[in-house]
Structure 1
Amino acid sequence: MNYSLATSAFALLLCSCQSPMRSGEQWQHGTYKRKTDIKFNGLSRSYLLHIPETMPPNGWPLVVVLHGAFSTAKEMERQSGFSALADQEGFSVAYPNGIGLFGQLQHWNAGHCCGKAAKDNVDDVGFISAVIDNAVQACPIDKNRIYLIGYSNGGMMAYRYAAEQTGRLAAAAVFAAAIDSTVEGEDDAWTPPQPTRPLPIMILHGKADDIVPLQGGASPAKANGRHYASVAAAKRFWNSNNGTTAEVRVEFLEDWGHMWPGPWFTNREDAPEAMRGYDAAKVIWNFFRPYRLL
């Protein structure tokens, strides 16, 4: 079957499609805003779905990318570079939006953190599952190749989702995140649950991160009383779960702080020499590539 972008009478705009691909139909290349059945404050929660130009015979792998606190799906798409990479490598990308106010200050309920989402116990695990389901219903996704990556508060959310919904993912990755945290004077009411199976996971962290410190503890940049678990603690958690069955890869980024480590930032003149041109999207995709659900 020819899945090129040749004009076809059967071509559908992705943003209006609600059914799986049928024989003869072709998809438009681009990024589309889609809504789910999940609501917050009376409004349907949304995500962006990027479709590349070509499709493998078994459908597109899907990479779900979670933005950091007070960011948006659109900003994460622009800064992460995943959509451009998806066009080169032939996978689709979903960028969910956290809860916020008028499309701003968006964040996630990672269980232990943060803000209104955690305080109100927003079901972000259910929302991310709804995003995956919506994407699978909308277009041909290879359900054996669904991956998750999160940044900062989105990375904390990725840890939580990977632990609670392990069976939906082929692999996961996090950058600049802690798997758990506590606040002085408050009870530690949440810890990550035991995953249901081994899961390949990649952990990236800047050695100079002053928001979520690599060694854990209080943030040097934020006097909010929160103490973060260390990267070592996250590694122990996943090693304990995975044993020798699935890889836990940790990569420390020299002289790098809390910004997303992609060309949007690493190509700047003030980027550390050791990180010049580093592209986390490529590094993470190369980690994801060989893994699929059995």
Structure 2
Amino acid sequence: MDGPLPILFHLHGGGGTGKGTAKLTYGRFNDIADREGFIVVYPDAIAKNWNDGRTEHLKPENIGVDDVGFIEAIVERLKSQYQIDPDRIFTTGMSNGGFMSTRLLCDRAELFRGGAILTASISEGYFSQCAPSQPVGVLVMNGTADPIVPYTGGEIRLFGKNRGSILSHEDFVAFWKEKNGCLEELQGEHIPNTKPWDGTQVEIRNFRNCHPRGSLKVYEIQGGGHTWPGGRQYLGRRLIGNTSREINACDVIWDFFSSLN
């Protein structure tokens, strides 16, 4: 590949692995990376959990782990091995990986040009600590019927245990609208419902007159669950809800990142 290479981190969910995350998307990011010319990284967290700003979900071996520093170290290692474009480093993930991507944007906005947050927002406890050093491109994609990470915010409960309290989807969007200096939201756009059997519809919200570095785009998956649109239905619908087939999240995410100046 010619020229400096972008990097995309795809962070796994809680209890997952990098390998499993690649399988979740049917390897779609790998295909896009081969075509577009970037490096996709699937790191593994200690004990399969990222230290994403919540405390309730952590195992003893996760407490005090500097996962932000870990991701930074991977970037530095890649820079020592390849010609990397420092202005095109991105992060994405769902669930625990989405919360961790939020933390990376909060703590290292100067390192990441953009992030895509799926089935996640930010914890109430960490919210006050999130102070990005500069605006950053953000894509948010949440399902309105997520049975694990509540769309309306509040406490995450999994297997009867509290996994932390979080901001609602709407409050999370408002947070990034303010941080990115977006002055106007355009009328919502509905994607044609070509696969009604999947139980979902997709609405896109676009924002403009943002800071030059502060793009914001929102996908609301009506009827969508704790799932990756276009990915595997990795558990039954009664447990995780519907997986939308109206869009492929990998394609949407890379199109968004590619649009960032």
- TM-score, normalization by structure 1: 0.69
1:174 aligns with 2:121: no
1:255 aligns with 2:197: no
* SS, match of residue 240 in structure 1: helix
Distance 1:283 1:189, change over 3 A: closer
Q: Give the letter aligned to residue 52 of structure 2.
A: A
* Equivalent in the alignment of 1:97: 44
Q: Give the letter aligned to residue 215 of structure 2.
A: E
CA deviations on 1:158-212 (whole Å, 9 max, x unpaired) are 111111100011111110012114xxxxxx4774321111111000001110100
Q: Distance in 1 between matches of 2:76 and 2:29?
A: 20
Identity of aligned residues (%): 32
Deviation at 1:228, TM superposition (A): 2.1
Deviation at 1:274, TM superposition (A): 8.9
1:138-177 alignment, distance < 5 Å: 138-177=81-120
Q: Distance in 2 between matches of 1:273 and 1:125?
A: 31
1:75 corresponds, among 20, 35, 54, to: 20
Distance 1:108 1:198, change over 3 A: same
Q: Distance in 2 between matches of 1:64 and 1:251?
A: 20
1:172-211 alignment, distance < 5 Å: 172-181=115-124, 188=125, 191-211=128-148
* SS, match of residue 146 in structure 1: strand
Q: Give the letter aligned to residue 247 of structure 2.
A: Y
Q: Distance in 2 between matches of 1:155 and 1:213?
A: 14
Deviation at 1:262, TM superposition (A): 2.4
Which ranges in structure 1 are unaligned for 5 or more consecutive residues?
A: 1-54, 101-105, 182-187
Deviates more, 1:245-254 or 1:206-215: 245-254
* Equivalent in the alignment of 2:200: none
Q: Distance in 2 between matches of 1:192 and 1:261?
A: 30
- TM-score, normalization by structure 2: 0.77
Q: Verify the 8 A CA contact 1:108 1:117 in the aligned structure 2.
A: no
Q: Give the letter aligned to residue 109 of structure 1.
A: N
Q: Distance in 1 between matches of 2:127 and 2:152?
A: 20
Q: Verify the 8 A CA contact 1:159 1:174 in the aligned structure 2.
A: yes
Distance 1:112 1:79, change over 3 A: same
* Equivalent in the alignment of 2:252: 283
1:235 aligns with 2:189: no
1:115 aligns with 2:53: no
1:262-273 alignment, distance < 5 Å: 262-265=230-233
Q: Distance in 2 between matches of 1:111 and 1:273?
A: 27
Relative contact order, CA 8 A, sep 6+: which one is greater?
2
Q: Could you list the runs of 4 or more consecutive aligned residues of structure 1 that deviate by over 4 angstroms after TM superposition?
A: none
* SS, match of residue 145 in structure 2: coil
CA deviations on 1:187-243 (whole Å, 9 max, x unpaired) are x47743211111110000011101001111234655323332111221122122110
Q: Give the letter aligned to residue 97 of structure 2.
A: G
Q: Distance in 1 between matches of 2:126 and 2:258?
A: 36
CA deviations on 1:36-93 (whole Å, 9 max, x unpaired) are xxxxxxxxxxxxxxxxxxx2x3222111111100000111112122112212222210
Q: Verify the 8 A CA contact 1:109 1:117 in the aligned structure 2.
A: no
* Equivalent in the alignment of 2:9: 64
Distance 1:173 1:138, change over 3 A: same
Q: Verify the 8 A CA contact 1:59 1:141 in the aligned structure 2.
A: yes
How many residues in Structure 1 have an aligned counterpart in Structure 2?
Answer: 225
* Equivalent in the alignment of 1:33: none
